[in-house]
């Protein structure tokens, strides 16, 4: 089962669908490319998910274990060997993702399928599918948690960068509970009139943290050499990962609702040595857990998403003894972290708030370098990521130390 909800970039389909209805019966000769991409044309080679900048090629595979509510589903990114037959996987892994989004927005599936296939059907992830693992010493581990309306492939730029730098990354697909061998798709349940949202979201963030912990437990089993029965039966040989992970160097990372999952996960599992929260949505978290979070946390925010109440909750995690850092990337929006920011043209991207004023490659580069510097510092990595230490303190023309939000001193 997979969870979908309304995230802002999907307004794209609704807008195009509404326009197609408003012009029904009129024989205009407009193209999908001009409508969808504005001044940049259709999906071209220049509109792609950027590859990792590290010294390693990146491989990826999917792993699903268990057929109950205690099951685990994740996409694994890792340093790899490549050969001529290596293929790059599709960014949208299944047609059902398109159908689920269409049903959620109550639009015709056949029309949405045309639009999604035009926009993203040819998009590939810059990694090699089921490529063999490349031993490169003990790899640190990152568990990644996606946003509320996302899924495991939507942050491939970040995951590929980490894997290219020698990390093993488990991008969790949340709310995956496959009964038997048949996939079932669970669509978003909206808040009912008069229903309090916090109990629902709080329950979800606890479940998501548990799913991240189960993903970590699965990686620990693989590292120990225990055989895994992959329901998906991919060709990747998981036994090659035996004793290749550094289980003393594990971090958790996530965006938006996934940023809240980072905080919840750190509270629940001490094996996570630090966390990176990208534009964290703090609402789902019970503040009572804050004193129990003992690990370093790095908050990387966009300029346009945050507000006073959210920043105040982040600041409640400040500590005189535990490193808690926060920076803001100038010119960014909430959707500057998922891959959509690279795959839509400037006009449409800004209209739908998928792009900010900053070049998305510059923003992602800052995010990745700052994250790597923070991970080196708090996982005690012997790498050269400390060259980017100044970014942790916001020392760049495109960064703000702390937040751009003015918080009244009386509120702190």
Catalytic residue numbers?
256, 279, 334
Q: How far apart are CA 111 and CA 208, in angstroms?
A: 33
Q: How far apart are CA 114 and CA 13, in angstroms?
A: 10
Q: How far is CA 121 from CA 43, 60, 101, 210, 288, in A?
A: 9, 19, 15, 32, 44
Q: How far apart are CA 306 and CA 169, in angstroms?
A: 27
Q: How far apart are CA 158 and CA 365, in angstroms?
A: 9
Residues 381 and 248: beta-carbon distance below 8 Å = no
Residues 160 and 52: beta-carbon distance below 8 Å = yes
Q: How far is CA 40 from CA 37, 341, 344, 406, in A?
A: 6, 14, 8, 36
Q: Is 288 exposed, middle or buried (0-12, 13-18, 19+ CB in 10 A)?
A: exposed
Q: What are phi and psi of 343, to 5 degrees?
A: -115, 10
């Amino acid at each position: 089962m997979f969870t979908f909800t309304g995230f802002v970039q999907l307004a794209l389909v609704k807008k195009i669908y509404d326009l197609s209805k408003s012009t029904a019966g009129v024989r205009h000769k407009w193209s999908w490319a001009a409508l969808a991409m504005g001044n940049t044309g259709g999906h071209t080679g220049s509109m792609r998910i950027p590859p990792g900048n590290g010294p390693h090629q990146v491989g990826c595979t999917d792993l699903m274990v268990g057929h109950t509510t205690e099951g685990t589903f994740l996409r694994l990114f890792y340093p790899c060997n490549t050969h001529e037959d290596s293929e790059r996987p599709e960014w949208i892994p299944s047609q059902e993702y398109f159908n689920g989004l269409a049903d959620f927005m109550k639009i015709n599936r056949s029309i949405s399928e045309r639009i999604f296939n035009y926009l993203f059907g040819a998009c590939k992830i810059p990694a090699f599918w089921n490529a063999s693992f490349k031993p490169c010493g003990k790899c640190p581990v990152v568990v990644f948690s996606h946003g509320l309306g996302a899924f495991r492939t939507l942050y491939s730029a970040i995951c590929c960068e980490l894997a290219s730098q020698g990390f093993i990354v488990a991008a969790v697909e949340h709310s995956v509970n496959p009964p038997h061998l048949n996939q079932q798709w669970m669509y978003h349940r909206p808040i009912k009139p008069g229903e309090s949202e916090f109990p629902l979201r709080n329950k979800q963030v606890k479940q998501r943290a548990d799913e991240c912990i189960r993903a970590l437990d699965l990686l620990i089993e693989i590292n120990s050499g225990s055989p895994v029965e992959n329901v998906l039966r991919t060709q990747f040989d998981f036994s090659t990962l035996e004793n290749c992970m550094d289980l003393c160097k594990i971090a958790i990372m996530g965006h938006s609702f996934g940023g809240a999952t980072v905080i919840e996960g750190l509270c629940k599992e001490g094996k996570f040595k630090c966390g990176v929260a990208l534009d964290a949505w703090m609402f789902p978290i019970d503040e009572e857990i804050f004193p129990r979070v003992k690990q370093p946390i790095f908050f990387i925010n966009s300029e346009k998403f945050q507000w006073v109440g959210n920043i105040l909750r982040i600041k409640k995690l400040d500590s005189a003894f535990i490193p808690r850092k926060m920076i803001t990337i100038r010119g960014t929006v909430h959707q500057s972290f998922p891959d959509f920011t690279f795959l839509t043209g400037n006009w449409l991207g800004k209209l739908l708030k998928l792009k900010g004023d900053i070049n998305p490659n510059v923003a992602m580069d800052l995010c990745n370098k700052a994250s790597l510097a923070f991970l080196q510092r708090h996982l005690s990595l012997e790498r050269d990521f400390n060259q980017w230490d100044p970014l942790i303190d916001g020392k760049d023309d495109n960064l703000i130390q702390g937040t751009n939000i003015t918080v009244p001193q009386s509120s702190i």
